[in-house]
Chain A
């Protein structure tokens, strides 16, 4: 039974079925999410997409802080190196 099922899932037909099922699931969740976002927006409330946008901005700020930290550390290292050689 187990071996037969494993053979079944390894077939091309199952792959196609799985791919289409995944696409349907994506489409359904997308429609659902867009609908609720529209409802919330019409009530002048913050929707999920607004939260995600804010999250992306925070990610960007965190990236910049990390880069800044690396720059400062680089400067620190070069200052110590020049101090040692001087």
Chain B
């Protein structure tokens, strides 16, 4: 190895280390927003915009693992920013940072209390009479449970589910925590809140080489080659490392009901005595799956397409992973326009809904619908 090569290698090593050590300084979730409602650790935010054109606001609901900042990762790579640009009134439900004092918080709190209350506040602050729910991962499952409980009574007018586990059979998680192994009661008896780092490590172990070695090797290689996207790496790494705890009761219910017993898809899940019946979902439904998703593979979401009672069901199956699908470098061109277009066509004021052009959507039931008018020109005041 020649002296210049040694110098380049040393320089790359120092820069790689610098990127890793300063990851925490990355600015994420910077789109201006205002808190409009809080309860316990839950906060509802409304993003500032003077371009609101669609009548139905969008409520973003993320998982109980990791923070919802992934919706608004960084300027130019923010789904929130994109939706605002498309004229939507965007709200975000942040579950906050649960602690041991929230150990008695169960799934019923999220589905029967926090979510409906947040929708009430969205309606109140926006002046709209309905809300489009967009849930990602566990957030999608919570939205599904809500719609399956409330049916047509729910103020949710549209339902968008991104990489959402519904039928967990065949998943790697089920192999790990399913009926035969993992004593979830032992864990949740002793822990009031399951540490986020523990869940994060389990997630990383699903693809150990990729997550624990390849990502760092690729970073070092890109630094050495001079192609590194410093901001991109740091913003994603910061988001991945931010792991809130999972309230013990909710964790026990999630693992037992969804993974050990697979109750949701079998119609045997009850919340506060009421059956969560997927056939009661009547809202237009968009299910988005990622072909390389190892956390919620497409087979985990697809059964909902048949079980729902909705007559307006679409399915988008795209390349990508659980998070990369919506937050990867290609998302802005390959998936966001489809999601926004689908929502736009169903976000007119009551009685004015139009059907979208679904020729670009995979596996839809309504492929012969007319073309959409995404840039709906419906006038709307800046503050609703």
The interface of chain A, by Cβ under 8 A from chain B, is 1-2, 5-6, 9-10, 12, 15-16, 18-19, 22-23, 25-27, 29-30, 48, 51-56, 58-59, 62-63, 66
Whether the Cβ atoms of B209 and A19 lie closer than 8 Å is no
Chain B residues closer than 8 Å to A9, beta-carbon distance: 172, 205-206, 208
CB-CB under 8 A for A15 and B181, given A56-B101, A59-B40: yes
Instruction: Return A17 CB to nearest CB of chain B, in Å.
Output: 10
Q: A23-B186, A56-B101, A59-B101 are in contact. Are A15 and B175 (CB under 8 A)?
A: yes
Chain B interface (Cβ < 8 Å from any Cβ of A): 39-40, 99-104, 117, 172, 175-177, 180-183, 186-187, 190-192, 198, 202, 205-210, 214
Q: Return the contact of A66 from the options B39, B100, B172, B191 (Cβ within 8 A).
A: B39
- Chain A's closest residue to B294 (CB) is A6
Given A52-B99, A59-B102, A62-B39, A6 and B207 touching (CB < 8 A)? Answer: yes
- How many Å lie between the Cα of A16 and that of B178 in the bound state? 11
- In the complex, the answer to whether B40 meets A62 with C-beta atoms within 8 Å is yes
**Given the interface contacts A16-B181, A18-B205, A19-B183, does A52 sit within 8 Å of B100 by beta carbon?**
yes
B104's nearest neighbour on chain A, judged by CB, is: A56
Point out the residue from B99, B117, B181, B186 that lies within 8 Å of A26, measured CB to CB: B186
A22 touches B198 (CB 8 A): yes
Residues B117 and A66 in contact, CB atoms below 8 Å apart: yes
A1 close to B209 (CB less than 8 A) = yes
In Å, the complex CA distance between A45 and B181 comes to 40
Bound Cα distance A55, B193 (Å):
13
CB distance from A52 to the nearest CB of B (A): 5
Query: 5 tightest CB-CB pairs across the interface, nearest first?
Result: A55-B101, A2-B209, A19-B182, A30-B190, A19-B181
* A60, chain B: closest CB distance, angstroms: 10
Contact between chains at B207 and A2 (CB < 8 Å): yes
Question: Considering the chains assembled together, what is the distance between the CA atoms of A26 and B138 in angstroms?
Answer: 24
* Given A6-B208, A10-B172, A19-B181, CB of A29 within 8 Å of CB of B191: yes
Q: Which residue of B lies closest to A48 (CB)?
A: B100
Min CB gap A50→B, angstroms = 11
Q: Which residues of B contact A25 (CB under 8 A)?
A: 198
- Contact (Cβ within 8 A) B182 A27: no
CA distance A48 to B192 in the complex (A): 12
Closest CB-CB distance, A44 to chain B, in whole Å?
A: 22
How distant is the Cα of A1 from the Cα of B214 in the complex, in angstroms? 11
- The minimal Cβ–Cβ distance linking B210 to chain A, given in whole angstroms, is 6
Closest Cβ of chain B to A22, distance in Å, is: 6
A residues in contact with B191, CB < 8 Å = 26, 29-30
A-B contact pairs, 5 of them (CB 8 A): A12-B180, A18-B176, A26-B190, A29-B190, A55-B100
Q: From A18, A51, A58, give the contact of B182 (CB < 8 A).
A: A18
Q: Output the nearest chain A residue to B192 by Cβ-Cβ distance.
A: A52
CB neighbours (8 Å) of A2 from chain B are 207, 209-210, 214
- By a CB distance below 8 angstroms, the chain A residues around B192 are 52
Question: For the complex, what is the distance from the CA of A56 to the CA of B209, rounded to whole Å?
Answer: 41
B187 to A22, Cβ gap below 8 A? yes
* Beta-carbon contact of A23 and B205 below 8 Å: no
- Nearest CB of chain B from residue A84's CB, rounded to whole Å: 18
Closest to A58 in B: B101
A23: nearest residue on chain B (CB-CB)? B186
